[in-house]
Amino acid sequence: MATSEAQKRANQKWRSQHKDKQQIYNHRSTAKRFIKLYANLHDLDVLADMIKERRSELKKLG
């Protein structure tokens, strides 16, 4: 089913008003795609270390 013109305008309006959220969604999607399709064991080990470090930083912040 095709997207209506009104829905296209609403989507564009939301994206223009929420650029920061849209950027986060794009980065998250890219990271997931890399992990699912391209990462090898070394990449996954590096990412796991980065995630562990980031979790620790966030816990310190509260």
pTM value?
0.75
How many domains does one find in the chain?
1
21 Cα distance to chain centroid: 9
Average pLDDT over residues 39-60: 98
Domain contains 56:
yes
Domain contains 54:
yes
Whether pLDDT at 62 is above 90: no
| Structural domain range at position 29 | 21-61
Average pLDDT over residues 21-45: 98
Domain contains 50:
yes
**For residue 30, what pLDDT is reported?**
98
Domain contains 8:
no
Domain contains 26:
yes
3's tokens = 């997207």
Domain contains 49:
yes
Domain contains 39:
yes
Band the pLDDT of 31: cuts 50, 70, 90.
very high
**For residue 1, what pLDDT is reported?**
84
Q: Are 19 and 27 in contact (CB under 8 A)?
A: no
Residues 31/18/55/62 CA torsion (nearest 10 deg):
180
Q: Cα–Cα–Cα angle for 16, 22, 24, nearest 5°?
A: 150
Domain contains 51:
yes
Task: Determine the angle formed by the axes of helices 19-37 and 5-17, rounding to 10 degrees.
Answer: 100
